[in-house]
Structure 1
Protein backbone atom coordinates (compact mmCIF):
# COMPACT_ATOMS: atom_id res chain seq x y z
CA UNK A 1 0.00 0.00 0.00
CA UNK A 2 1.18 3.50 -0.84
CA UNK A 3 1.03 5.99 2.03
CA UNK A 4 -1.13 8.80 0.68
CA UNK A 5 -2.96 10.19 -2.33
CA UNK A 6 -4.51 13.63 -2.83
CA UNK A 7 -7.75 14.14 -4.76
CA UNK A 8 -9.49 17.28 -5.95
CA UNK A 9 -11.83 18.55 -8.65
CA UNK A 10 -11.17 21.79 -10.48
CA UNK A 11 -12.48 23.95 -13.27
CA UNK A 12 -10.33 26.83 -14.51
CA UNK A 13 -8.95 27.82 -11.06
CA UNK A 14 -5.31 27.98 -12.17
CA UNK A 15 -4.22 30.15 -9.21
CA UNK A 16 -5.38 27.63 -6.62
CA UNK A 17 -4.46 24.60 -8.71
CA UNK A 18 -0.84 25.76 -8.87
CA UNK A 19 -0.71 25.96 -5.06
CA UNK A 20 -2.43 22.56 -4.74
CA UNK A 21 0.00 20.91 -7.18
CA UNK A 22 3.05 22.48 -5.57
CA UNK A 23 1.93 21.32 -2.14
CA UNK A 24 0.71 17.78 -2.74
CA UNK A 25 2.90 17.09 -5.76
CA UNK A 26 5.94 17.99 -3.70
CA UNK A 27 4.85 15.93 -0.70
CA UNK A 28 3.31 12.83 -2.27
CA UNK A 29 4.69 12.92 -5.82
CA UNK A 30 2.55 13.89 -8.79
CA UNK A 31 1.94 10.25 -9.59
CA UNK A 32 -0.12 10.10 -6.38
CA UNK A 33 -2.19 13.20 -7.15
CA UNK A 34 -5.63 12.84 -8.77
CA UNK A 35 -7.17 15.86 -10.48
CA UNK A 36 -10.73 15.69 -11.80
CA UNK A 37 -10.68 18.14 -14.71
CA UNK A 38 -14.25 19.44 -14.88
CA UNK A 39 -14.77 20.56 -18.46
CA UNK A 40 -11.49 19.04 -19.68
CA UNK A 41 -9.77 22.42 -19.55
CA UNK A 42 -6.51 22.60 -21.47
CA UNK A 43 -4.81 24.78 -18.85
CA UNK A 44 -5.74 22.38 -16.04
CA UNK A 45 -4.40 19.44 -18.04
CA UNK A 46 -1.17 21.31 -18.79
CA UNK A 47 -0.58 22.43 -15.21
CA UNK A 48 -1.38 18.97 -13.83
CA UNK A 49 0.95 17.12 -16.22
CA UNK A 50 2.40 14.10 -14.43
CA UNK A 51 -0.69 13.75 -12.22
CA UNK A 52 -3.62 11.43 -12.82
CA UNK A 53 -5.96 13.77 -14.69
CA UNK A 54 -9.55 12.58 -15.06
CA UNK A 55 -11.48 14.59 -17.61
CA UNK A 56 -15.25 14.87 -17.24
CA UNK A 57 -17.87 16.87 -19.19
CA UNK A 58 -18.27 20.49 -18.20
CA UNK A 59 -21.93 21.05 -19.07
CA UNK A 60 -23.67 23.38 -16.63
CA UNK A 61 -26.35 21.53 -14.70
CA UNK A 62 -28.34 21.64 -11.50
CA UNK A 63 -27.54 19.56 -8.40
CA UNK A 64 -23.88 20.19 -9.20
CA UNK A 65 -22.46 19.80 -5.71
CA UNK A 66 -24.43 16.65 -4.90
CA UNK A 67 -23.19 14.98 -8.09
CA UNK A 68 -19.65 16.19 -7.49
CA UNK A 69 -19.43 14.73 -4.00
CA UNK A 70 -21.14 11.51 -5.02
CA UNK A 71 -18.34 11.06 -7.55
CA UNK A 72 -15.57 12.12 -5.15
CA UNK A 73 -16.92 9.72 -2.52
CA UNK A 74 -16.64 6.84 -4.95
CA UNK A 75 -13.14 7.90 -6.02
CA UNK A 76 -12.00 8.06 -2.38
CA UNK A 77 -13.32 4.61 -1.59
CA UNK A 78 -11.67 3.21 -4.73
CA UNK A 79 -8.31 4.84 -3.99
CA UNK A 80 -8.38 3.36 -0.48
CA UNK A 81 -7.76 -0.02 -2.12
CA UNK A 82 -4.28 1.23 -3.01
CA UNK A 83 -3.48 3.99 -0.49
CA UNK A 84 -3.58 4.00 3.29
CA UNK A 85 -4.72 7.63 3.43
CA UNK A 86 -6.64 9.71 0.88
CA UNK A 87 -6.72 13.49 1.29
CA UNK A 88 -9.78 14.90 -0.47
CA UNK A 89 -11.06 18.46 -0.77
CA UNK A 90 -11.58 21.54 -2.88
CA UNK A 91 -8.66 22.90 -4.85
CA UNK A 92 -8.36 25.92 -2.52
CA UNK A 93 -7.93 23.71 0.56
CA UNK A 94 -4.55 22.40 1.67
CA UNK A 95 -3.88 20.06 4.58
CA UNK A 96 -0.62 21.06 6.28
CA UNK A 97 1.45 19.87 9.20
CA UNK A 98 2.82 22.44 11.62
CA UNK A 99 6.63 22.43 11.22
CA UNK A 100 6.76 22.20 14.99
CA UNK A 101 5.96 18.50 14.53
CA UNK A 102 9.50 18.08 13.22
CA UNK A 103 8.62 16.21 10.04
CA UNK A 104 6.62 16.55 6.82
CA UNK A 105 3.02 15.52 6.19
CA UNK A 106 3.80 12.34 4.22
CA UNK A 107 6.26 11.04 6.81
CA UNK A 108 3.83 11.91 9.60
CA UNK A 109 1.01 10.04 7.87
CA UNK A 110 3.22 6.95 7.61
CA UNK A 111 3.10 6.75 11.39
CA UNK A 112 -0.68 7.22 11.73
CA UNK A 113 -3.11 4.36 12.30
CA UNK A 114 -5.40 3.43 9.44
CA UNK A 115 -9.18 2.90 9.62
CA UNK A 116 -9.62 6.49 10.76
CA UNK A 117 -10.87 9.82 9.53
CA UNK A 118 -8.67 12.76 10.54
CA UNK A 119 -10.12 16.25 10.94
CA UNK A 120 -7.55 19.06 10.66
CA UNK A 121 -8.34 22.35 12.38
CA UNK A 122 -9.62 24.81 9.78
CA UNK A 123 -7.79 28.11 9.32
CA UNK A 124 -8.67 30.60 6.61
CA UNK A 125 -5.68 32.47 5.19
CA UNK A 126 -6.69 36.12 4.86
CA UNK A 127 -5.09 38.88 2.84
CA UNK A 128 -4.61 41.88 5.12
CA UNK A 129 -4.58 44.40 2.28
CA UNK A 130 -3.76 47.17 4.77
CA UNK A 131 -0.39 45.67 5.77
CA UNK A 132 0.44 42.95 3.20
CA UNK A 133 1.08 44.67 -0.15
CA UNK A 134 3.34 41.94 -1.56
CA UNK A 135 1.63 39.75 -4.18
CA UNK A 136 1.47 35.98 -3.80
CA UNK A 137 3.96 34.27 -6.12
CA UNK A 138 5.33 30.74 -5.72
CA UNK A 139 4.47 30.70 -2.02
CA UNK A 140 1.30 31.82 -0.24
CA UNK A 141 2.66 31.81 3.30
CA UNK A 142 5.27 34.50 3.66
CA UNK A 143 3.44 37.18 1.71
CA UNK A 144 0.38 36.13 3.75
CA UNK A 145 0.78 35.33 7.43
CA UNK A 146 -2.65 36.06 8.90
CA UNK A 147 -5.42 33.51 9.45
CA UNK A 148 -8.82 33.43 11.02
CA UNK A 149 -10.29 30.41 12.75
CA UNK A 150 -12.76 28.78 10.34
CA UNK A 151 -14.77 25.94 11.98
CA UNK A 152 -16.63 25.44 8.68
CA UNK A 153 -13.30 24.29 7.19
CA UNK A 154 -12.38 21.87 9.95
CA UNK A 155 -13.25 19.11 7.51
CA UNK A 156 -12.92 15.32 7.97
CA UNK A 157 -10.76 15.13 4.86
CA UNK A 158 -7.94 12.64 5.57
CA UNK A 159 -9.67 9.31 5.05
CA UNK A 160 -8.38 5.82 5.79
CA UNK A 161 -11.69 4.25 6.84
CA UNK A 162 -14.72 3.13 4.89
CA UNK A 163 -17.24 5.94 5.27
CA UNK A 164 -19.53 8.29 3.38
CA UNK A 165 -18.64 11.96 2.97
CA UNK A 166 -21.42 14.55 2.88
CA UNK A 167 -21.86 17.16 0.17
CA UNK A 168 -19.24 19.87 0.61
CA UNK A 169 -16.97 17.50 2.53
CA UNK A 170 -18.08 18.91 5.89
CA UNK A 171 -19.32 15.69 7.53
CA UNK A 172 -18.77 11.93 7.38
CA UNK A 173 -20.56 8.92 8.79
CA UNK A 174 -17.47 8.05 10.85
CA UNK A 175 -18.55 8.38 14.49
CA UNK A 176 -15.22 9.25 16.14
CA UNK A 177 -13.44 12.60 16.06
CA UNK A 178 -9.66 12.61 15.56
CA UNK A 179 -8.07 16.08 15.60
CA UNK A 180 -4.27 15.64 15.67
CA UNK A 181 -2.40 18.43 17.43
CA UNK A 182 -0.30 19.68 14.50
CA UNK A 183 -2.73 19.13 11.63
CA UNK A 184 -4.42 22.07 9.89
CA UNK A 185 -6.55 22.71 6.83
CA UNK A 186 -5.70 26.04 5.19
CA UNK A 187 -8.52 27.55 3.15
CA UNK A 188 -7.04 29.87 0.54
CA UNK A 189 -10.15 31.56 -0.85
CA UNK A 190 -9.26 34.92 0.73
CA UNK A 191 -5.46 34.68 0.52
CA UNK A 192 -5.18 37.22 -2.31
CA UNK A 193 -7.54 40.05 -3.21
CA UNK A 194 -6.98 39.87 -6.97
CA UNK A 195 -7.23 36.07 -7.14
CA UNK A 196 -10.44 36.21 -5.08
CA UNK A 197 -12.12 38.68 -7.43
CA UNK A 198 -11.17 36.64 -10.49
CA UNK A 199 -12.39 33.39 -8.96
CA UNK A 200 -15.70 34.94 -7.89
CA UNK A 201 -16.25 36.31 -11.39
CA UNK A 202 -15.87 32.79 -12.77
CA UNK A 203 -18.18 31.25 -10.17
CA UNK A 204 -20.85 33.89 -10.62
CA UNK A 205 -20.75 33.16 -14.36
CA UNK A 206 -21.31 29.44 -13.69
CA UNK A 207 -24.38 29.96 -11.53
CA UNK A 208 -25.78 32.47 -14.01
CA UNK A 209 -25.37 29.95 -16.83
CA UNK A 210 -27.06 27.20 -14.81
CA UNK A 211 -29.99 29.37 -13.77
CA UNK A 212 -32.32 28.58 -10.90
CA UNK A 213 -32.23 29.29 -7.18
CA UNK A 214 -29.57 28.32 -4.66
CA UNK A 215 -31.76 25.44 -3.48
CA UNK A 216 -32.46 24.21 -7.02
CA UNK A 217 -28.83 24.21 -8.09
CA UNK A 218 -27.41 22.64 -4.90
CA UNK A 219 -24.37 24.91 -5.16
CA UNK A 220 -22.97 26.85 -2.20
CA UNK A 221 -24.54 30.28 -1.64
CA UNK A 222 -21.10 31.89 -1.96
CA UNK A 223 -21.09 31.09 -5.73
CA UNK A 224 -24.03 33.45 -6.35
CA UNK A 225 -23.62 37.13 -7.26
CA UNK A 226 -26.36 38.23 -4.85
CA UNK A 227 -24.43 36.76 -1.90
CA UNK A 228 -21.06 38.19 -2.95
CA UNK A 229 -21.08 41.70 -1.52
CA UNK A 230 -18.42 44.29 -2.36
CA UNK A 231 -15.01 42.66 -2.68
CA UNK A 232 -12.86 45.43 -1.23
CA UNK A 233 -15.19 45.87 1.75
CA UNK A 234 -14.84 42.15 2.50
CA UNK A 235 -11.06 42.39 2.62
CA UNK A 236 -10.99 45.67 4.51
CA UNK A 237 -13.12 43.95 7.15
CA UNK A 238 -10.30 41.54 8.00
CA UNK A 239 -8.45 44.34 9.81
CA UNK A 240 -11.34 44.56 12.28
CA UNK A 241 -11.09 40.94 13.39
CA UNK A 242 -9.80 40.75 16.97
CA UNK A 243 -6.09 39.89 16.94
CA UNK A 244 -5.23 37.06 19.34
CA UNK A 245 -1.94 36.73 21.18
CA UNK A 246 0.15 33.69 20.37
CA UNK A 247 -0.96 30.61 18.46
CA UNK A 248 -2.65 28.35 21.02
CA UNK A 249 -5.02 26.12 19.04
CA UNK A 250 -5.64 23.50 21.73
CA UNK A 251 -8.78 25.18 23.13
CA UNK A 252 -10.33 25.30 19.66
CA UNK A 253 -9.86 21.56 19.23
CA UNK A 254 -11.26 20.89 22.70
CA UNK A 255 -14.40 22.85 21.76
CA UNK A 256 -14.86 20.59 18.73
CA UNK A 257 -14.75 17.51 20.97
CA UNK A 258 -17.13 18.99 23.56
CA UNK A 259 -19.85 19.49 20.95
CA UNK A 260 -19.31 16.28 18.94
CA UNK A 261 -22.59 14.44 18.33
CA UNK A 262 -24.73 12.70 15.76
CA UNK A 263 -26.20 15.03 13.13
CA UNK A 264 -29.84 14.14 13.68
CA UNK A 265 -30.83 10.87 12.03
CA UNK A 266 -28.70 11.42 8.91
CA UNK A 267 -25.95 9.02 9.96
CA UNK A 268 -23.44 11.87 9.85
CA UNK A 269 -21.49 13.24 12.83
CA UNK A 270 -20.53 16.85 13.50
CA UNK A 271 -19.43 19.46 16.02
CA UNK A 272 -20.81 22.97 16.47
CA UNK A 273 -19.37 25.54 14.04
CA UNK A 274 -19.99 28.99 15.52
CA UNK A 275 -19.02 32.10 13.58
CA UNK A 276 -15.78 33.64 14.87
CA UNK A 277 -14.42 37.19 14.74
CA UNK A 278 -10.79 36.51 15.66
CA UNK A 279 -7.53 36.39 13.74
CA UNK A 280 -4.01 35.15 14.40
CA UNK A 281 -0.61 35.82 12.96
CA UNK A 282 1.05 32.57 12.01
CA UNK A 283 4.41 31.85 13.67
CA UNK A 284 7.37 32.39 11.34
CA UNK A 285 7.93 28.65 11.10
CA UNK A 286 4.95 28.50 8.72
CA UNK A 287 6.51 30.91 6.21
CA UNK A 288 7.12 29.14 2.89
CA UNK A 289 5.21 26.00 3.96
CA UNK A 290 2.73 26.44 1.08
Structure 2
Protein backbone atom coordinates (compact mmCIF):
# COMPACT_ATOMS: atom_id res chain seq x y z
CA UNK A 1 0.00 0.00 0.00
CA UNK A 2 1.27 3.44 -0.90
CA UNK A 3 1.42 6.15 1.77
CA UNK A 4 2.58 8.96 -0.49
CA UNK A 5 -0.77 10.65 -1.03
CA UNK A 6 -4.42 10.63 -0.06
CA UNK A 7 -7.15 12.41 -2.01
CA UNK A 8 -10.08 14.06 -0.20
CA UNK A 9 -13.35 15.52 -1.46
CA UNK A 10 -16.95 16.12 -0.41
CA UNK A 11 -19.90 15.36 -2.67
CA UNK A 12 -23.66 15.56 -2.67
CA UNK A 13 -25.36 13.79 -5.61
CA UNK A 14 -22.94 15.12 -8.27
CA UNK A 15 -22.57 11.71 -9.89
CA UNK A 16 -21.21 13.00 -13.21
CA UNK A 17 -18.31 14.78 -11.51
CA UNK A 18 -17.75 11.96 -9.01
CA UNK A 19 -17.35 9.48 -11.88
CA UNK A 20 -14.68 11.71 -13.42
CA UNK A 21 -12.98 12.15 -10.02
CA UNK A 22 -12.89 8.39 -9.46
CA UNK A 23 -11.81 7.69 -13.04
CA UNK A 24 -8.89 10.11 -12.63
CA UNK A 25 -7.62 9.41 -9.12
CA UNK A 26 -8.59 5.76 -8.60
CA UNK A 27 -6.14 4.10 -11.02
CA UNK A 28 -3.28 6.38 -9.96
CA UNK A 29 -3.54 6.23 -6.17
CA UNK A 30 -5.79 3.22 -5.48
CA UNK A 31 -9.34 3.58 -4.22
CA UNK A 32 -8.22 2.63 -0.72
CA UNK A 33 -6.45 6.03 -0.59
CA UNK A 34 -9.46 8.09 -1.69
CA UNK A 35 -11.58 9.73 1.03
CA UNK A 36 -15.08 10.92 0.16
CA UNK A 37 -17.38 12.83 2.50
CA UNK A 38 -20.86 11.75 1.39
CA UNK A 39 -23.02 14.76 2.25
CA UNK A 40 -26.51 13.41 2.75
CA UNK A 41 -25.41 9.75 2.61
CA UNK A 42 -26.56 9.40 -1.00
CA UNK A 43 -26.92 5.80 -2.06
CA UNK A 44 -25.60 6.62 -5.54
CA UNK A 45 -22.37 7.98 -4.08
CA UNK A 46 -21.90 4.82 -2.02
CA UNK A 47 -22.34 2.62 -5.07
CA UNK A 48 -20.06 4.61 -7.37
CA UNK A 49 -17.33 4.95 -4.73
CA UNK A 50 -17.22 1.31 -3.64
CA UNK A 51 -13.73 0.52 -2.36
CA UNK A 52 -13.07 4.11 -1.26
CA UNK A 53 -13.21 5.46 2.29
CA UNK A 54 -16.70 6.94 2.55
CA UNK A 55 -17.69 9.21 5.43
CA UNK A 56 -21.43 9.73 5.58
CA UNK A 57 -22.75 12.94 7.16
CA UNK A 58 -26.25 14.46 7.48
CA UNK A 59 -27.41 16.40 4.45
CA UNK A 60 -29.73 18.94 6.05
CA UNK A 61 -29.39 22.33 4.32
CA UNK A 62 -27.65 24.92 6.50
CA UNK A 63 -26.83 28.56 5.84
CA UNK A 64 -23.26 28.06 7.14
CA UNK A 65 -22.70 25.17 4.75
CA UNK A 66 -19.32 26.31 3.41
CA UNK A 67 -17.90 27.14 6.83
CA UNK A 68 -18.91 23.77 8.22
CA UNK A 69 -17.64 21.96 5.13
CA UNK A 70 -14.16 23.48 5.26
CA UNK A 71 -13.88 23.03 9.00
CA UNK A 72 -14.44 19.32 8.42
CA UNK A 73 -12.11 19.13 5.42
CA UNK A 74 -9.35 21.05 7.23
CA UNK A 75 -9.37 18.68 10.15
CA UNK A 76 -9.58 15.63 7.92
CA UNK A 77 -6.59 16.81 5.89
CA UNK A 78 -4.50 17.50 8.98
CA UNK A 79 -5.36 14.10 10.44
CA UNK A 80 -4.47 12.24 7.23
CA UNK A 81 -1.13 14.02 7.11
CA UNK A 82 -0.08 11.85 10.02
CA UNK A 83 -0.30 8.85 7.70
CA UNK A 84 0.45 10.26 4.23
CA UNK A 85 3.20 12.55 2.94
CA UNK A 86 0.76 14.58 0.84
CA UNK A 87 -3.00 15.17 0.87
CA UNK A 88 -4.84 16.56 -2.15
CA UNK A 89 -8.09 18.24 -1.18
CA UNK A 90 -10.75 19.99 -3.24
CA UNK A 91 -14.23 19.99 -4.69
CA UNK A 92 -15.38 16.97 -6.66
CA UNK A 93 -15.35 18.98 -9.91
CA UNK A 94 -11.67 19.92 -9.49
CA UNK A 95 -8.90 17.56 -10.61
CA UNK A 96 -5.16 17.96 -10.09
CA UNK A 97 -3.50 16.94 -13.36
CA UNK A 98 0.14 16.47 -14.27
CA UNK A 99 1.20 17.40 -17.78
CA UNK A 100 1.70 14.13 -19.69
CA UNK A 101 4.85 15.71 -21.11
CA UNK A 102 6.40 15.13 -17.67
CA UNK A 103 6.45 11.40 -18.43
CA UNK A 104 5.23 10.24 -15.01
CA UNK A 105 2.04 9.80 -13.07
CA UNK A 106 0.90 12.24 -10.41
CA UNK A 107 1.78 9.63 -7.77
CA UNK A 108 5.29 9.20 -9.17
CA UNK A 109 5.73 12.96 -9.19
CA UNK A 110 4.61 13.33 -5.57
CA UNK A 111 6.90 10.49 -4.48
CA UNK A 112 9.80 12.74 -5.50
CA UNK A 113 8.56 15.91 -3.80
CA UNK A 114 9.78 17.21 -0.43
CA UNK A 115 7.26 17.34 2.39
CA UNK A 116 6.31 20.36 4.55
CA UNK A 117 5.17 22.27 1.49
CA UNK A 118 1.95 23.40 -0.14
CA UNK A 119 1.74 23.04 -3.93
CA UNK A 120 -0.51 25.32 -5.98
CA UNK A 121 -1.38 23.98 -9.45
CA UNK A 122 -2.34 26.53 -12.10
CA UNK A 123 -6.12 26.78 -12.52
CA UNK A 124 -7.67 25.93 -15.89
CA UNK A 125 -11.40 25.79 -16.47
CA UNK A 126 -12.47 23.16 -19.00
CA UNK A 127 -15.13 24.82 -21.15
CA UNK A 128 -17.68 23.31 -23.52
CA UNK A 129 -17.47 25.22 -26.77
CA UNK A 130 -20.98 24.31 -27.89
CA UNK A 131 -20.36 25.97 -31.28
CA UNK A 132 -17.55 23.55 -32.24
CA UNK A 133 -17.83 20.59 -29.83
CA UNK A 134 -21.14 18.80 -30.50
CA UNK A 135 -19.92 15.44 -29.22
CA UNK A 136 -21.54 14.24 -26.00
CA UNK A 137 -19.36 13.02 -23.13
CA UNK A 138 -19.80 9.28 -22.74
CA UNK A 139 -16.55 8.30 -21.02
CA UNK A 140 -13.55 10.63 -20.86
CA UNK A 141 -14.00 14.40 -20.77
CA UNK A 142 -10.73 15.55 -22.32
CA UNK A 143 -10.96 14.66 -25.98
CA UNK A 144 -14.56 15.64 -26.58
CA UNK A 145 -13.59 18.82 -24.69
CA UNK A 146 -10.31 20.44 -25.70
CA UNK A 147 -10.73 24.10 -24.71
CA UNK A 148 -9.71 25.64 -21.40
CA UNK A 149 -10.08 29.10 -19.92
CA UNK A 150 -7.27 30.51 -17.76
CA UNK A 151 -8.79 30.66 -14.27
CA UNK A 152 -6.61 32.14 -11.47
CA UNK A 153 -9.58 31.75 -9.09
CA UNK A 154 -8.98 27.99 -9.33
CA UNK A 155 -5.23 28.14 -8.81
CA UNK A 156 -5.73 26.63 -5.38
CA UNK A 157 -3.12 25.59 -2.77
CA UNK A 158 -4.55 22.09 -2.68
CA UNK A 159 -1.60 19.67 -2.40
CA UNK A 160 -0.82 19.78 1.31
CA UNK A 161 2.20 18.32 3.10
CA UNK A 162 2.64 21.02 5.75
CA UNK A 163 0.76 21.89 8.90
CA UNK A 164 -1.41 24.79 7.76
CA UNK A 165 -4.97 26.04 7.78
CA UNK A 166 -6.96 26.17 4.54
CA UNK A 167 -9.42 29.02 4.06
CA UNK A 168 -13.06 28.47 3.24
CA UNK A 169 -13.41 27.51 -0.41
CA UNK A 170 -9.83 26.23 -0.52
CA UNK A 171 -8.48 29.41 -2.14
CA UNK A 172 -5.88 30.37 0.47
CA UNK A 173 -3.72 28.82 3.17
CA UNK A 174 -1.57 30.15 6.00
CA UNK A 175 1.55 28.73 4.35
CA UNK A 176 3.92 31.61 3.56
CA UNK A 177 5.65 30.36 0.40
CA UNK A 178 4.28 29.75 -3.09
CA UNK A 179 5.23 26.58 -4.94
CA UNK A 180 3.51 26.37 -8.32
CA UNK A 181 5.24 23.65 -10.39
CA UNK A 182 5.22 24.08 -14.17
CA UNK A 183 3.80 20.60 -14.71
CA UNK A 184 0.74 20.80 -12.42
CA UNK A 185 -2.75 22.06 -13.28
CA UNK A 186 -6.03 22.20 -11.39
CA UNK A 187 -8.76 21.58 -13.94
CA UNK A 188 -12.22 22.82 -12.99
CA UNK A 189 -15.07 20.96 -14.67
CA UNK A 190 -18.12 23.07 -13.88
CA UNK A 191 -18.49 24.24 -17.50
CA UNK A 192 -17.20 21.11 -19.26
CA UNK A 193 -20.62 19.99 -20.51
CA UNK A 194 -23.69 22.10 -21.15
CA UNK A 195 -26.40 19.52 -20.22
CA UNK A 196 -24.54 18.52 -17.03
CA UNK A 197 -24.10 22.17 -16.08
CA UNK A 198 -27.84 22.78 -16.32
CA UNK A 199 -28.61 19.70 -14.21
CA UNK A 200 -26.01 20.58 -11.55
CA UNK A 201 -27.22 24.17 -11.28
CA UNK A 202 -30.81 23.00 -10.89
CA UNK A 203 -29.72 20.83 -7.95
CA UNK A 204 -27.75 23.65 -6.30
CA UNK A 205 -30.51 26.20 -6.78
CA UNK A 206 -32.86 23.75 -5.07
CA UNK A 207 -30.54 23.54 -2.04
CA UNK A 208 -30.32 27.31 -1.56
CA UNK A 209 -34.05 27.64 -2.20
CA UNK A 210 -34.73 25.18 0.59
CA UNK A 211 -32.62 27.20 3.02
CA UNK A 212 -34.64 30.28 2.13
CA UNK A 213 -32.27 33.14 3.02
CA UNK A 214 -30.57 35.53 0.62
CA UNK A 215 -27.00 35.51 -0.67
CA UNK A 216 -25.69 37.88 2.03
CA UNK A 217 -27.00 35.69 4.85
CA UNK A 218 -25.72 32.31 3.67
CA UNK A 219 -22.17 30.91 3.70
CA UNK A 220 -22.44 29.15 0.34
CA UNK A 221 -20.81 30.18 -2.94
CA UNK A 222 -22.74 32.87 -4.82
CA UNK A 223 -22.93 30.61 -7.89
CA UNK A 224 -25.35 28.27 -6.02
CA UNK A 225 -28.12 30.88 -6.12
CA UNK A 226 -30.75 31.13 -8.86
CA UNK A 227 -30.53 34.94 -8.82
CA UNK A 228 -26.82 34.81 -9.72
CA UNK A 229 -27.19 32.12 -12.39
CA UNK A 230 -27.95 34.08 -15.53
CA UNK A 231 -29.05 32.46 -18.79
CA UNK A 232 -27.34 29.11 -19.25
CA UNK A 233 -27.04 28.95 -23.04
CA UNK A 234 -25.83 32.54 -23.26
CA UNK A 235 -23.09 31.70 -20.75
CA UNK A 236 -21.81 28.87 -22.93
CA UNK A 237 -22.19 30.78 -26.20
CA UNK A 238 -20.02 33.49 -24.64
CA UNK A 239 -17.02 31.16 -24.45
CA UNK A 240 -16.52 31.64 -28.21
CA UNK A 241 -15.75 35.33 -27.55
CA UNK A 242 -12.76 34.63 -25.30
CA UNK A 243 -9.45 35.54 -26.92
CA UNK A 244 -7.72 32.41 -28.27
CA UNK A 245 -4.04 32.28 -27.30
CA UNK A 246 -1.72 30.36 -29.59
CA UNK A 247 0.40 27.68 -27.96
CA UNK A 248 0.24 26.39 -24.40
CA UNK A 249 2.93 28.24 -22.43
CA UNK A 250 1.68 28.96 -18.90
CA UNK A 251 4.99 30.09 -17.43
CA UNK A 252 4.22 33.84 -17.73
CA UNK A 253 1.04 33.42 -15.68
CA UNK A 254 2.84 31.46 -12.98
CA UNK A 255 5.48 34.20 -12.80
CA UNK A 256 2.72 36.77 -12.22
CA UNK A 257 1.43 34.62 -9.36
CA UNK A 258 4.89 34.61 -7.80
CA UNK A 259 5.38 38.37 -8.16
CA UNK A 260 2.08 39.21 -6.47
CA UNK A 261 2.23 36.61 -3.68
CA UNK A 262 2.00 37.98 -0.15
CA UNK A 263 -0.09 38.30 3.02
CA UNK A 264 -3.84 38.59 2.61
CA UNK A 265 -4.26 41.61 4.86
CA UNK A 266 -4.08 40.69 8.54
CA UNK A 267 -6.01 37.42 8.13
CA UNK A 268 -2.98 35.18 8.55
CA UNK A 269 -3.54 33.80 5.03
CA UNK A 270 -1.48 34.37 1.87
CA UNK A 271 -2.66 34.98 -1.67
CA UNK A 272 -1.68 36.24 -5.12
CA UNK A 273 -3.42 38.50 -7.63
CA UNK A 274 -6.23 36.78 -9.52
CA UNK A 275 -6.89 38.81 -12.68
CA UNK A 276 -10.01 38.09 -14.69
CA UNK A 277 -8.25 36.87 -17.82
CA UNK A 278 -10.55 36.63 -20.83
CA UNK A 279 -8.30 34.04 -22.47
CA UNK A 280 -8.78 30.53 -23.79
CA UNK A 281 -6.36 27.86 -24.98
CA UNK A 282 -6.65 24.71 -27.03
CA UNK A 283 -5.32 21.79 -25.01
CA UNK A 284 -2.51 19.89 -26.72
CA UNK A 285 -3.38 16.41 -27.95
CA UNK A 286 -1.28 14.84 -25.18
CA UNK A 287 -4.01 15.69 -22.63
CA UNK A 288 -6.77 13.78 -24.44
CA UNK A 289 -8.21 10.89 -22.48
CA UNK A 290 -6.44 11.52 -19.15
CA UNK A 291 -9.85 11.82 -17.44
TM-score norm. by structure 1 comes to: 0.99
Indicate the residue corresponding to 1:195 in structure 2. 196
Residue correspondence of structure 1 range 9-158 to structure 2 within 5 A = 9-158=10-159
* Match of residue 2 from structure 1: 3
Q: How many equivalent residue pairs?
A: 290
How many angstroms does 1:206 deviate by? Answer: 0.2
**Residues in 2 aligned to 1:28 and 1:194: alpha-carbon distance in whole angstroms:** 30
Aligned to 1:210: 211
**Structure 1 residue runs of 4 or more that deviate by more than 3 Å after TM superposition:** none
How far has the Cα of 1:215 moved from its partner?
2.4
**Paired residue secondary structure (1:69):** helix
Q: CA offsets per residue over residues 216-255 of structure 1, 9 Å max, x none?
A: 2110100000000000000000000000000010000000
**Following the alignment from structure 2 to structure 1, what is the Cα–Cα distance between the partners of residues 217 and 90?**
23
Q: Distance in 2 between matches of 1:118 and 1:211?
A: 38
Q: Secondary structure at the match of 2:286?
A: helix
1:136 Cα deviation from its structure 2 partner: 1.1
C-alpha deviation, 1:76, in angstroms: 0.1
Which residues of structure 1 form unaligned runs of 5+?
none
Secondary structure at 2:86 match in 1: strand
Which residue matches 2:248?
247
Q: Deviations along 1:182-201, whole A, 9 cap, x unmatched?
A: 00000000000000000000
Query: Any unmatched runs of 5+ in structure 2?
Result: none
Which residue matches 1:277?
278
Equivalent-residue separation in structure 1 for 2:230 and 2:138 (angstroms): 27
Q: Distance in 1 between matches of 2:173 and 2:84?
A: 19
Quote the Cα distance in structure 2 between the aligned partners of 1:217 and 1:71.
18
SS of the residue corresponding to residue 85 of structure 2 reads: strand
Deviations 1:128-177 (A, max 9, x none): 00000111121010000000000000000000000000000000000000
Alpha-carbon deviation of 1:122?
A: 0.1
Distance, in Å, in 2 between the alignment partners of 1:69 and 1:288 is: 31
CA distance in structure 2 between the aligned counterparts of 1:111 and 1:95, rounded to whole angstroms: 17
In 1, the alpha carbon distance for the partners of 2:237 and 2:246 equals 21
The CA deviation string for residues 91-113 of structure 1, in whole angstroms up to 9 with x for no partner, is 00000000011111000100000
CA distance in 2, matches of 1:61, 1:249: 39
Alpha-carbon distance in structure 2 between the residues aligned to 1:54 and 1:82: 18
The secondary structure found in structure 2 opposite 1:140 is coil
CA offset digits 1:5-31 (Å, max 9, x no partner):
100000000000000011111110000
